[in-house]
Chains A and B, each alone.
Chain A
Amino acid sequence: MEKDKNMQEPKRCVIPIGPYHPLQEEPEFFKLHVDGEKVTGIDIELGYNHRGIEKLSEAKHFDQGIFLVERICGICSTSHPFAFVNAVEDLAGIEIPERAKYIRTVVGELERVHSHLLWLGLAGHFLGYNTVWMWSWKYREPVLDIFEKISGNRQHYAMMKVGGVRRDIALEDMPWIEKTLDELVKGVDMFKGAVMDDPVIWARTKGIGILTPQDIKEYGGVGPLARASGIDEDVRRDDPYAAYNMVDWKVQTWQGGDIFAKAVVRILELYESVKIIRQCLTRLKTAPGPFDLKVKEIPAGEGIGRHEAPRGEVFHYVRSDRANRPVRHKIRAPSYVNVATNEKSVIGCTISDALIVLAAVDPCYCCTERVAVVDAGSGKHLYNGNDLIRLSHEKTERLKKQL
């Protein structure tokens, strides 16, 4: 970079990251304030994805609303319906049949598997390991095949329904699903070995983007983000719903709060999820009964539903006045609180680490295709998105040589 002519003004660079970001209500436009290589501040601007879903939900009846909330986020497209039906069932005091509980749990956990694999792949991409990306997405495909088998669609499964689920899981499909899971675990084993022992990945992720338990409490952080900082919270265990208190599994936590800890928590959760799915499938072979209560009327009142989505707790608040649609439907996705923690974690990092720190929260990634570094004074673009990924890749290459 050539020397600035008027040196009197302290040089203050702003890096805009965004604005396109695909999660509803939590799309992000980050402005990184940088001093040389160091990030000194961050502004987060939202609203590029706001589609007014809370308002639209007031015009949809309880059965239609599920299809609406499903389209809040494509990656956790069963988490929002899950929390929504939990909220309506809490409002109406409905206890769903056993078979529906297991099916819901299977769908919820399959989603966690596909979402964590997706995150691991993209994290690898940002670190400069495109092989990790291609591998983990390759192992993600069979999960989508299972979804297609169960629900008929690769994404947007439309399985949830107030009072049960929309479709049964057929007995003859189960051996195939179990076999596919076996294949998946083999892939994850290999993947875990390759990622967790790699000295370059250690160097790029250990001690970077640290969140202390105090930071988590201040911002209300949830999910793998909180558990990587040693906070033992998980809605599935703390406020049990569906079949989570009927199967054997453990909440995975890790210490440190850095990117490595977040990756470890997600990898360990993959194994727990597969364990839960296996148990549910075994019970489903004998679990009796209907899978849907065919609920017709929702009484007046208010209800709160929660679900532990891949990214953390999804919160839905529903108020009804005995009509067939909610009068108020408040939705809080986990990234709404998790993204705010970037205000803490990214400050003090270098620019080449900033991408992976922002990505460690596991927001969605389309925004990072639109990264550009702009000099605040002249408005001149210094780096674009590809350059930032290149910077990150170069750091990895450098470390490889040093190690």
Chain B
Amino acid sequence: MSYAINALTKSLNVFHAACSPCNNCDIEILDAITPRHDVERFGIQLVGSIRHADVLLVTGAVNKKVVHRIKKLYEQAPKPVLVIAVGGCACSEIMFRDSYNTCGPLDKIIPVDLYIPGCPPKPEAMIAGVVKLIQAATKKAGG
């Protein structure tokens, strides 16, 4: 396990799952890979399939139609996988808590490793979050 986690601290392949967000976090995630922030410099890149992913990045207040799909995505991910909840909706549902069609914050559905709050979090905040995640994983791997 520690060897596998150690591998995760190198270049991260990120799968981005949008679970009924307002799209703003998603745009800021894409923003982080475009010229100004350019996280691809550090080997962090978005991948098209969950089966290639080291990190599952989830945005939005999960609704009743996508809840099964996000569970399935988590099951399909090669383990160990790190889960990041991006934005206020995924962390705590903010104003959608009382909605008839949402299913609770993300950590009630799948285990979450990192929370990046904000509405939306700035790309800088996301980068800072990923740095903390890598530090924590390095510690866990005993390195």
Q: Indicate whether A and B are direct neighbours in the complex (CB within 8 Å).
A: yes
Q: Is residue A305 contacting chain B, with contact meaning CB distance below 8 A?
A: no
- Chain A residue at minimal CB-CB distance from B88: A71
Q: Are the C-beta atoms of A56 and B95 separated by less than 8 Å?
A: yes
B21-79, CB < 8 A from A: 21-28, 30-31, 34-36, 46, 48-49, 60-61, 63, 65-66, 69
CB atoms of B120 and A51 under 8 A apart: no
B3 contacts chain A at the CB level, 8 A cutoff: no
- Indicate whether A369 sits within 8 Å of B95 (C-beta atoms), given known contacts A20-B19, A51-B102: no
Q: Which of B21, B26, B28, B101 has the most CB of A within 10 A?
A: B21
Known: A20-B17, A20-B19, A366-B18. A155 touches B98 (CB 8 A): no
**Interface 1/0 per residue, A363-380 and B, CB below 8 Å:** 010110100000000000
Q: Are A74 and B26 in contact (CB under 8 A)?
A: yes
- B-chain residues with CB within 8 Å of residue A155 when the two chains form the complex: 24, 27-28, 120
Most buried by B among A19, A50, A75, A77: A50
| Complex CA–CA separation, A55 to B98 (angstroms) | 10
B23 touches which of A19, A59, A75, A385 (Cβ 8 Å)? A75
Q: Which residue of A lies closest to B87 (CB)?
A: A74
- Confirm or deny: A47 has a beta carbon within 8 angstroms of a beta carbon on chain B: yes
The reply to whether B101 and A51 form a contact with Cβ atoms under 8 Å apart is yes
Q: Is the interface of B mostly helix, strand, loop or mixed?
A: loop
B residues engaging A (CB < 8 A)?
16-28, 30-31, 34-36, 46, 48-49, 60-61, 63, 65-66, 69, 95-96, 98-102, 119-120, 122
Contact assessment for A74 and B24 in the assembled complex, using a CB-CB cutoff below 8 Å = yes
A50 with B24: in contact, given A156-B119, A384-B48 (CB under 8 Å)? no
CB of B18 within 8 A of CB of A22, answer yes
B69 touches A366 (CB 8 A): no
* Distance to closest chain A CB from B36 (angstroms): 5
Assess whether A50 is in contact with B101, with CB atoms less than 8 Å apart.
yes
Q: What is the distance, in angstroms, from A61's C-beta to the closest C-beta of chain B?
A: 13
A118 on interface, CB distance cutoff 8 Å: yes
Q: Please determine whether A48 and B63 come into contact, CB atoms closer than 8 angstroms.
A: yes
- B24 near A385: Cβ-Cβ < 8 Å: no
- Chain B residues, Cβ within 8 Å of A60: 95
Set of chain A residues within 8 Å of B96, measured between Cβ atoms: 51-52, 56
List 18 additional A-B contacts (Cβ < 8 Å) besides A47-B65, A154-B120, A385-B49: A19-B69, A20-B69, A22-B26, A49-B60, A51-B61, A55-B99, A71-B119, A73-B23, A74-B25, A118-B27, A137-B31, A137-B35, A138-B34, A156-B119, A156-B120, A366-B18, A367-B18, A385-B48
A251 and B65 alpha carbons, distance in the complex (Å) = 40
Asked if B99 and A51 make an inter-chain contact with CB atoms under 8 angstroms apart, the answer reads: yes
Decide yes or no whether A27 CB sits under 8 A from chain B.
Answer: yes
Complex: A371 Cα to B95 Cα, angstroms: 30
What B residues does A77 contact at CB under 8 A? 22, 24
Chain B's nearest CB lies how many Å from the CB of A21?
A: 7
A386 within 8 A of partner (CB): yes
A-B contact count (CB 8 A): 117
Partner of B21, one of A55, A74, A118: A74
Whether B28 contacts A154 by the Cβ 8 Å rule is yes
A-B contact pairs, 30 of them (CB 8 A): A19-B65, A19-B69, A21-B18, A22-B18, A22-B20, A22-B23, A48-B20, A49-B60, A49-B63, A50-B63, A51-B61, A51-B63, A52-B102, A56-B99, A67-B95, A71-B95, A71-B119, A74-B23, A74-B24, A74-B26, A74-B27, A75-B27, A133-B34, A138-B34, A141-B31, A155-B28, A155-B120, A369-B46, A384-B48, A385-B48
Cross-chain contact of A23 among B19, B23, B99 (Cβ < 8 A): B23
CB-contacts of A3-58 with B (<8 A): 19-24, 27, 47-53, 55-56
Contact of A48 among B24, B48, B65, B100 (CB under 8 A): B65
CA distance A367 to B69 in the complex (A): 13
Quote the shortest CB–CB distance from A75 to chain B (angstroms): 6
Check if A74 sits within 8 Å of B120, measured CB to CB: yes
Report B-chain residues with C-beta under 8 Å of the C-beta of A22: 18, 20-23, 26, 60
Rounded to whole Å, the gap between the CB of B59 and the closest CB of chain A is 8
Q: Shortest distance in angstroms between B14's beta carbon and chain A's nearest beta carbon?
A: 11
Residue of B nearest to A80 (CB): B22
How far is the CB of A190 from the nearest CB of chain B, in Å? 15
A52 touches B21 (CB 8 A): no
A47 to chain B, nearest CB (A): 5
CB B109 to nearest CB in A, in angstroms, measures: 15
Q: How far is the CA of A155 from the CA of B23 in the complex (A)?
A: 11
B-side contacts of A52, CB under 8 Å? 96, 99-102
